[in-house]
Structure 1
Amino acid sequence: SGGREFTISPDQGTTINIIKSKASSCKVCKFYTYLRQCDNSLTLVTRTDVEFYCTTPEDIFKVEIVRKIGKTYYIMQSDVGFSNLLPFHRTFIWKIEADSQKSFQINFANTGLTQVAPSDSCINKQTYTLRVANILLGKFCSHGTIRSVTIRGHESFSLDLPAGQMLSRGQFNVSVVEKITTLAKISVTLEEGSLSSTLLTPNYPNSFPNNDLMEWYFQVPYNYRTAIKFLNLKQPTCLKDNVEVTYRNEGTSSQVVGLGDVQPEQKQGSFSLRLRNCQMDTRRPDGLSMKLTVTASPARVFLSFLQDTADMGIDNFKRKKTRDRRTGNTNKNNKPKEKEVSSCKIDLGFQNQLSLPYDDEFSYYLTIIHNMLSRCLNNASSILIICLLECCFQIQNFGLSNFNRTITWKFEADSQKSFQLNFANTGLTQIAPSDSCTNKQTYTLRVANILLGKFCSHGTIRSVTIRGHESFSLDLPAGQTLSRGQFNVSVVEKITTLAKISVTLEEGSLSSTLLTPNYPNSFPNNDLMEWYFQVPYNYKTAIKFLNLKQPTCLKDNAEVTYRNEGTSSQVVGLGDVQPEQKQGSFSLRLRNCQMDTRRPDGLSMNLTVTASPDTHLQTTLGVLAALVVSAAVVLMVVYIMMRFLVILIFCSFIMLLQSSYSLVMEVSVYNSGDTNIQTRLENFPEDCEDGIYSQIDETLIYSHFL
């Protein structure tokens, strides 16, 4: 007596274990129809009435809620249906068992996890535990840099909740992936706001499994470097082989180092770290265990200040030959003097470089160059230039906004690939080399040594694809604050043209002006350029060539090729009237001839492209619509007339039947006057007059006697 009673209803596929955690005489009992079974522990799989024979069973028993991950691959954190177990210490356990040829991956991308030592606890008192077979992979708290964990075999993922602690609702996705060869693979994402992480070897502080392999993958921004340190390191006594650490960057060969060596700094973004244990002498008490601290930071930046000279072509900035205010001497030292002012690494290519101090009597020009190779990209990823612009914000914090600056990104595509810069968020507008942008921030695109064009932000140009080497730069005058922004860069299939510029004409921006490469100088000799215009389908597009300069050709002629989507191409000469393009999007290819380079002339021009609604097409569509409506009306009238005719024929047929029926019903009877003859047919309604004789034909009265 004096016990507590519960009714516990496990979900399908859920097992509830009630386990005694302290020595006590208290028992837990479950009831059958006429029986009661009591013990120190209890396992429930169906709805069961339970009774504890003590007043405070939550102080003596703990509860495990075990669920198997089946065809629905997700872990749902929910204690719905178990509210009466809230006073107990509960452990939710999800058991996952992978196929022998597959592995499981648990995804924590929504919140992330942080690894803690087994003796530590989480702030919210909710601690996750991961086990691979019988090996403790680690204990974790919610929110952190760990984004996913992949395991190769059997795994249990559990969540400990102290008594009275409500379970936070949440979900972790579980997916089947290709089999891994390591014990497990933990993926960590280091990004702005969370650039460091601390991890522990499996079974920490006890030994890492004998002769086993563990992998950590670190996703790091491309222009960041990463430092790795091993703390609390305990090394085993090896009978065979040695413990080794293998680093592998994406697309590069691996680097193997020993545990006691200085761990190499990882550069240029993401990498993996593999820890392989040796065959240990298990008779010895020592083993392999350690903490890994991983910290990412922007690569180092060295900046130099380039004095502006007339032959550099920098507008509105002229160097005045005066004496240095601080030294009293004119600076004639041409040796590069570098000052570390930030932590982003930038290549320099200067000839005449000066260091601080600032001097109002001089105009300085600062060039920042960042190199990118196609091996840094693949078809499924892109480089976010906003990460590089962050360097510029850091630079400005050192007062460098007083300098004229050019930020340059250099791209070098693989021989079988091309680069594409995407400006879809804002678009660009092309301007003449002598013009400037309203906001004073001018973008420049070069393909190899060819000026593809100068551009201002906001416009109809959505992307540019180049076939080889490219540089994309942004000029900022002194005192101009850099606008934050982002352009995606991706690797695409190789193009055959010098470049391909994609333009979108739509409502509100139905015209665009473009220039040939190297304008106003000549388009490259015997080369090919493409523009693609995305236009609404029911619009027509007019193309005009202004300021046209034609070359002297030694071979072939300069020509323009138009191609509409799904139609054959149309080739015209430069001097011909350019054909109006109808029915939407099209491409324009300009092919230069083999020029006589001894002549000063060449090929250059402005292209003005204007789209407008195709009124002829609209009229045609209107006429077609009217014809369709008329045809529909005619068909409706014919349908109504045919229906009326059918009804008319049917009614005539019914009337004919009624007429025949009335002839049969007209009967002549002779009455001498002694007999009462009924003149109505039986069973006819009272209001029916069809049974009354209308006449008697006396010639037929006695015909039956003949």
Structure 2
Amino acid sequence: MLTIKSGEKTDFTFSCHHPEHSFVMEIQRNIDCMSGPCPFGEVQLQPSVLPALNRTFVWDVQAHKNIGLELRFSAPRLRQIGPGESCPDGVTHSISGRIDASAVRIGTFCSNGTVARIKVQGGVKVAMHLPWFHSRNVSGFSIANRSSIKRLCIIESVFEDEGSATLMSANYPEGFPEDELMSWQFVIPPHLRASVSFLRFNVSNCEKKEQRVEYYIPGSTTNPEVFRLEDQQPGNMAGNFNLSLQGCDQDAQNPGILRLQFQVLVQRPQNESSKTYVVDLSNERAMWVTIEPRPTRQSRVFVPGCFVCLESRTCSANLTLAPGSKHKLSFLCDNLTRLWMNAEKTISCMDPRYCLRRPQLLQVPSDLLRLPVQLHDFSWKLLVPEDRLSLALVPAQKLQQHTHEKACSTSFSYLLASASPGRDLYFGSFCPGGAIEQIQVKENVSVTLRTFSPSFQREAPGQGLAVSFVPHFREEGVFTVTPDTKNKVYLRTPNWDRGLPALASVSWNISVPSDQVASLTFFKERSGVVCQTGRAFLIIKEQRTRAEEIFSLEEEALPKPSFRHHSFWLNISNCSPASGKQLDLLFWVTLTPRTMDLTVVIIAGVGGGALLLFSLGLIICFVKKKKKKGSKGPPVGIYNGNVNTQMPRPVGKFQKARKDNDSHVYAVIDDTMVYGHLLQDSGSFLQPEVDTYRPFQGHMGDCPPSPPPVCSRAPTAKLTAGEPAPCLPPESEDEPYTFSHPSTGEGHQGDTGSPLLGTQEPVEPAE
């Protein structure tokens, strides 16, 4: 170590080839401004000829505590850096002040910034570090005398164009001195706008006074404007402004730490900054709107800020609008596509008498559609009392379910998911342009409208869902589907990626027009589910014939492609599946015209006419012969009531069946009662009353099929119309008549007749 004092002349050399790796040099100069005049003006680097070592020049200026000293920095101006940061060129300035006998660090600065002046009260110490390879020969700043500034320091930041500056409180990241005042002055060109945002801050525990920040803003009628550190800070400010940080008297036992790091962003005003938008939530009680930045990748280059301002002054990158008030918004942003909007509204019904079957429209309010930022999500949380009410959703346009085979390509979709706590059930994503007319859900549900392009603003008038509170039902969801003849309808079970929840049941009510035939196809041959407890079923039930087909999804293959001539239900009921063996099914429905072969029609018509003529001749001859011979034989057409022709059906539907009374028993059926309908157009005699079988033609699609009870682990066979369902009592509502030849014994129990109407398998429509 070698020390050279003022007034001395010393010669020295180094014994090593690279002294810059082993030695540093500090040049310290004390400037006394207390006993005499201060040497104001530009500060020189002296001595001027020094070895190429890492050098630190220190200027310690001592002044009276009521004297304010000004450090003025010429180009390039300074940029403040935080702890652990370094300067690209290696040149740093460390500036400190004094409070009584204690040193206070004002900050550490690099070149190429906005800090033009620093005013310090009661003396200042400046240390400039130069690396050994830097050939700089000027200090770059000057000292001037000023009157008392009555605070610790003032930092002046000058902007000439768009840019940003990050600044910190004294002693950062340690605590700001107790009960002190520090200020920043910002010089902003009149054609630019400035916004302040606090990056990091902590507050101390105050015993007296209150810690706060104060703004002097041009044109403000309430200067100074006082804010807490927790508040949103002002933005969209035109012209110069001041910001001050005021400490408090801290608690001696638990003082805490007051510190602040903030950013000032200066940019050109956009067209939207002069416009004011109104969002009226005064009539809302459970609706929140949030405007925030889109997720983007960080960039090192300067990016202008994007702020939303409340009442044109309180600006921030994130803003949440609460219900019950009217909000006036403006935007300070170079590109409004960097922002998006999310909203949430809760609709609940706790009193079924008030809201049962009273529809409410789920539609985006017009105030939000008029904002210049894109709506990302609008979520409606629909709440119902448990086991008392369910929900029915009817879209303004029929919906399509999003699948990999047919993806949605519209500007928005509806996402349906359970909103009950602990319930992991996602019904799917749905968009306009499909075949789903209604979606019914059993419990609380969240409906989220998600947009994918700005064109939603134009298409928004066509969107909307009407929600109704309906009586409670058992299925997790019921989908009403009306396919058209042009498109294939793809449908899949909820929770596609995770599997249908355990013991959940979902139904599809699929309509088939009278002139069409529906083709039902499943994507795979087997479901792949493995049940840990219970059983999983697939039930297909035609609503006109009420014939049910039941398949065990764990043990049987899925149905082959089949044709359905009438509207039908499709129900999928899950068991408690084993881990990794979940239930997820994809199927599709297509419609084709119901046609017949012309040749078959002609042959059937010719054959039917010939048969009719032959029957008429035979009957006339038979009647004439009977009139001659008289009636000698026993009566024909005796009804046999002992034949079991009952279809399976639920118990208790009718208290008294037809078999329990005699209203359907004929002792004798005359020939004219049997064959008279063939002569009804001949005019030879009056038309008799004929008791014939007439199938039910009414609506049968009110309720989806219910899965059969679990009786055993035996395989479940496909049921036909003549077999009773396992563990179900016999039905008692459809009894076909059976005609047979008379027997000699009154107690005859045999069945020698044939059904009047035979069962017929569905045939594939002719191409």
TM-score range, shorter chain: 0.3 to 0.5
TM (norm. structure 2) is 0.36
TM (norm. structure 1) is 0.39
